[in-house]
Amino acid sequence: MGLIYLGALLFSLGGSMLLDWRFRLTFWRDARKATWTMLLGINFFIVWDLFGIELGIFFRGVTDLMTGILLAPELPLEEVFFLALLCYTTLNVLGAVAVWDEKRDHKRERRMAA
């Protein structure tokens, strides 16, 4: 059983958490909204995956880099962490845009007040 892929996903999630903490992008801005959004996103994509598996569109590639633990037929444990990373990265990008917009608006207001 390999842990390389799971380890890489956890490392990447840690990096996303660090960026979130440093710039107050999502969870450190509004933890309740971020938690609900993450849970909804992950669950949506798990259902999406299950439909794709049932229709024969998605399947699990066999590799020594993964743990081999399956949550359902053709649904590896790592998929949940990948989906969490996908959702968290998307939230962080949207959070960064919001922070950038706030800073831009604040600068504009200061210029207009001067």
Listed in sequence order, the residues at least 6 apart from 13 whose beta carbon sits closer than 8 Å to its beta carbon are 81, 84, 85, 88
Number of domains making up the chain: 1
Range of the domain at 69: 4-113
Instruction: Give pLDDT, residue 105.
Output: 84
Task: Report, as ranges of residue numbers, the positions in the chain whose pLDDT lies below 50.
Answer: none
Which three-class secondary structure state does DSSP give residue 105? helix
With contact defined as beta carbons under 8 Å apart, do 42 and 83 qualify? yes
Measured between alpha carbons, how far is 104 from 45 in angstroms, rounded to an integer? 34
Instruction: Give pLDDT, residue 100.
Output: 95
The residue with tokens 């604040």 is 106
**pTM, rounded to two decimals:** 0.89
